[in-house]
Structure 1
Amino acid sequence: MQANYTVNGAVAVIVLTGRFDFNSHRVFREIIDKAIAESVVRKLTLDFHGVDYIDSSALGMLMLLKEKADAASKQVALANCSGTARQVLDIANFSKLFTME
């Protein structure tokens, strides 16, 4: 998986592409730590448009993100979720934990 982020005002948009699985842990952790550390950022939006696969370890990473964001008083939204990724997120009831855009 590749991850890049841009800051637009108070929103950090993190664009994910490829397979979001256990092998993505290091890349994902580094990018979310950078985004959360940005003092101007109040909301993190994860763009799933380019994600073609997601597994249970990715769900765990999203939960870790949620905990870190909550501790830093930042919101998290999941955007452009479709296909298999959307199905996995729906089965896990992540729409109850995250804002879905």
Structure 2
Amino acid sequence: MSITRRIDEQKSQVTIAIEGRFDFAQHKAFRDAYRDIDPKAMTFVIDLFDSSYLDSSALGMLLLLREYAGSEKAQVRIIGSGEDVRRVLKIANFEKLFILD
């Protein structure tokens, strides 16, 4: 279980990669990955390629990131989700709030 952050200054993009279970135990690390980033200067990408599971607290953390990034104006992409994780995101109607790639 780990959360890593990559900043691409040329693309003005922050990628937060989540490995393993994405649940409440990851709350502090996830928040720390974006809280010092200026949301007006960067876009956010959440990479779930190596994430095997997410629960309702992870959905809440994604919503908090979206709010931090500008709510309705936010351009937050979620990429690399496996079949089980994508199913949870679709059940929660996250395709209406995030860009799912």
Structure 1 and Structure 2 fold alike (TM over 0.5) = yes
Query: 1:74 Cα deviation (Å)?
Result: 4.8
Preserved CA contact (<8 Å) 2:21 2:53: yes
**Matched residue type, 1:20:** F
**SS of equivalent residue, structure 2 residue 48:** strand
Any gaps of 5 or more consecutive residues in structure 1? none
* Matches for 1:1-101 after TM superposition, within 5 Å: 1-8=1-8, 9=10, 10-34=12-36, 36-37=37-38, 40-41=41-42, 43-70=43-70, 74-101=74-101
Identity %: 38
**Alignment RMSD:** 1.7
Q: Distance in 2 between matches of 1:38 and 1:98?
A: 15
- Residue 39 of structure 1: CA displacement? 6.7
SS at match of 1:60: helix
The alignment of Structure 1 onto Structure 2 pairs a total of residues equal to: 98
- Aligned structure 1 segments of 4 or more residues deviating by more than 4 angstroms: none
